[in-house]
Amino acid sequence: MTTPKFAPGPAGAALRGLPRTDRLVEAADQAGMVEKLGHGAVLEAVRAELDRHRAAVLAGDPCPSPEAIEAGLLDRLREDARGSLRPVVNATGVVIHTNLGRAPLSDDAIAAMGRAARGYTNLEYDLVAGERGDRYGHAEAPLCRLTGAEAAVAVNNNASAVMLALAALMDAPPDRSGGGEAGVRPLAAPGRGEAEPGLPEVIVSRGQLVEIGGGFRIPDVLRRSGAALVEVGTTNRTYLRDHEAAVGPRTRILLAVHRSNFRLSGFVHDTPLEELVDLGRRRALWVVDDLGSGTLLETAPFGLGIEPTVQERIRAGADLVCFSGDKLLGGPQSGILCGTREAIARVKRHPLMRALRVDKVTLAALSATLAHYERGEALEKVPVWRAIAAAPEALEARARGWLAVLGAAGAGCAVRPSRSAVGGGSLPEVTLPTSVLALPGPPDALAARLRRGEPPVVGRIEEDRVVLDPRTVLPAEDEALVAAVRAALAV
DSSP 330-399: -SSS-EEEEE-HHHHHHHHHSTHHHHHB--HHHHHHHHHHHHHHHTT-HHHHSHHHHHHH--HHHHHHHH
pLDDT of residue 261: 63
Q: Which residues of the chain have pLDDT under 50?
A: 1-6, 178-196
User: Half-sphere exposure (CA, 13 Å, Cβ side) for 151?
Assistant: 13
pLDDT of residue 474: 95
pLDDT of residue 213: 59
- CATH second-level architecture of 107-381? 3-Layer(aba) Sandwich (3.40)
Report the alpha-carbon distance of residue 445 to residue 455 in Å, rounded. Answer: 17
SS3 276: helix
Report the alpha-carbon distance of residue 14 to residue 12 in Å, rounded. Answer: 5
Report the alpha-carbon distance of residue 140 to residue 336 in Å, rounded. Answer: 10
Q: Is the peptide bond before 383 cis (omega within 30 degrees of 0)?
A: no
pLDDT digits (tens, 9 = 90+) for 219-247: 777 777 778 889 998 888 888 999 999 99
- Residues pairing with 90 in the sheet: 458
Report the alpha-carbon distance of residue 170 to residue 135 in Å, rounded. Answer: 25
- Enumerate the CATH 3.90.1150.180 domain ranges in the chain, comma separated: 89-102+386-490
Helix (H) or strand (E) run with residue 432 in it:
strand 431-439
**CA 412 and chain centroid, separation:** 36
* Longest alpha-carbon distance in the chain: 93
Helix (H) or strand (E) run with residue 30 in it:
helix 21-30
218 CB contacts (<8 Å, ≥6 apart)?
162, 204, 208, 209, 210, 211, 255, 257, 290
pLDDT of residue 197: 57
> Given this structure, which CATH class describes domain 89-102+386-490?
alpha beta
Report the alpha-carbon distance of residue 45 to residue 40 in Å, rounded. Answer: 9
Residue 270 in contact with residue 302, Cβ under 8 Å? no
Residue 15 in contact with residue 4, Cβ under 8 Å? no
For helices 21-30 and 66-81, angle between their N-to-C axes, nearest 10 degrees: 50
Contacts of 159-163 with CB under 8 Å at 24 or more apart are: 159/216, 159/221, 159/335, 160/335, 160/356, 161/322, 161/323, 161/335, 161/336, 161/337, 162/218, 162/221, 162/288, 162/290, 162/322, 162/335, 163/221, 163/224, 163/225, 163/352
pLDDT of residue 216: 65
DSSP 116-151: HHHS---TTEETTTTEE--TTHHHHHHHHHHH--SE
- Enumerate the CATH 3.40.640.10 domain ranges in the chain, comma separated: 107-381
Residue 145 in contact with residue 138, Cβ under 8 Å? no
Report the alpha-carbon distance of residue 455 to residue 471 in Å, rounded. Answer: 18
Q: What is the dihedral of CA 106, 92, 212, 297, to 10 degrees?
A: 40
